Amino acid sequence: MDQRDEVRDFLASRRARLSPADVGLPPGSGRRRVAGLRRDEVAILAGVSSEYYARLERGNLAGVSDSVLDALAGALRLDEAEHLHLRNLAQAANQPARRRRSPARAASVRPSLLRVLDGMSTTPAYVRDTRMDMVASNALARELHAPVFEFARLTGTPPNTARFAFLDPGGRAFYPDWEQVTRDCVAALHAAAGQNPYDKPLVGLIGELSTRSEAFRVLWGTHDVRLHRTGVKRLRHPDVGVLTLDYDVMELTQDPGLVFIAYSAAPATPAADALSLLATLAATRTEALTEPGT
């Protein structure tokens, strides 16, 4: 990924989605030659010169101040995730060359956190890195995401929700809301790439998905980003059918780049009953795997 191209395309895509009416500007006379706002209109809204904004949209964020970034965010009506993405792009543009060449460290999950995961026998939970690899999980999470882990076993890759969703034909069946899930996957990967543009495994995953999935290429071109915090997800398990589950995402402040994700269901709901059944299945299979001779 070229950092300048990413900056250029992100700013241009945010500008293109706005009309003069959206930002309180007069429509002007005559036919507009560009979709959305013109560069000079963004410059006026941000309080910078047209020449300076043109330089920024060409991908040059070197030396840009926080105040200018905030002004741009306001002019382009960026939400929290987009504003953070713009700041991350600027930070990456100003990194010393030595740091850009530094290899990304492999994710390491603390033993204490592994004990917490294993102790949550009735709650599916796992730890995920910025590349969407499930780097640690408890038995119920593995049972709930059985198709993801099976695809990983067959392909010899880490269990990765984005790779599964885009490359396994079973992804559409496992995620009843596949279109929304894949949009969220790409938006999360785009945000991660803005924060860690020189992470070779991340760049490699994005390249793999771009090469092998037309759907991924189309979504990547939208340059959408989002923060993954909480929500509702539907999963179709081969044994218990569709489960509608709440999920909560917690950043691990002591482990940068890792997040803790837990699923739950409201009491006395079909999803809660299905989770109980899966917990029994997970416990049974775990016991079978630990029996002598197996």
* pLDDT surpasses 70 at 226: yes
Tokens found for residue 243: 């489960």
Which among 38, 61, 94 is the end of a domain? Answer: 94
d(CA 50, CA 41) in angstroms, rounded, equals 8
**Cβ of 291: how many Cβ atoms within 10 Å?**
7
Residue 116 maps to a domain:
yes
Are residues 248 and 199 part of one domain? yes
Buried b (16+ CB within 10 A) or exposed e, 233-265: bbbebeebeebebebeeeeeeebebbbbbbbbb
Residue type, 184: D
Q: How confident is the model at residue 284 (pLDDT cuts 50, 70, 90)?
A: confident
Which among 62, 94, 126 is the end of a domain? Answer: 94
Are residues 166 and 44 part of one domain? no
Tokens found for residue 46: 């941000």
Are residues 177 and 130 part of one domain? yes
State the residue range of the domain holding 149. Answer: 111-290
- Could you write out the DSSP letters of every residue in 224-285? ------EEEEEEEETTTEEEEEEEEEEE-TTSTT-EEEEEE--TTSHHHHHHHHHHHHHHHH
Are residues 152 and 256 part of one domain? yes
d(CA 149, CA 159) in angstroms, rounded, equals 5
Residue 21 maps to a domain:
yes
Residue type, 170: G
Backbone angles phi, psi at 55, to 5 degrees: -65, -45
Which among 53, 69, 94 is the end of a domain? Answer: 94
Residue 234 maps to a domain:
yes
d(CA 254, CA 129) in angstroms, rounded, equals 13
Q: How confident is the model at residue 290 (pLDDT cuts 50, 70, 90)?
A: low
* pLDDT surpasses 90 at 100: no
* pLDDT surpasses 70 at 130: yes
Are residues 157 and 38 part of one domain? no
Are residues 132 and 79 part of one domain? no
Residue 14 maps to a domain:
yes
What is the overall mean pLDDT for the chain?
90
Q: How confident is the model at residue 207 (pLDDT cuts 50, 70, 90)?
A: very high
pLDDT of residue 71: 96
Are residues 118 and 166 part of one domain? yes
Q: What's the domain count of the chain?
A: 2
d(CA 294, CA 287) in angstroms, rounded, equals 10
CATH number, domain of 154, equals 3.30.450.180
pTM for this structure? 0.87
CATH number, domain of 41, equals 1.10.260.40
**From residue 100, how far is each of 31, 86, 95, 195 by CA, in Å?**
44, 18, 7, 12
Are residues 141 and 257 part of one domain? yes
Q: How confident is the model at residue 142 (pLDDT cuts 50, 70, 90)?
A: very high
3-state DSSP assignment of residue 122: coil
Digit-coded pLDDT (tens) for 49-80: 999 999 999 999 989 999 999 999 999 999 99
Are residues 76 and 51 part of one domain? yes
* pLDDT surpasses 80 at 285: no
Digit-coded pLDDT (tens) for 17-30: 998 888 888 776 55
Are residues 252 and 125 part of one domain? yes
* pLDDT surpasses 90 at 83: yes
* pLDDT surpasses 80 at 104: no
Quick one: average pLDDT of 205-225?
95
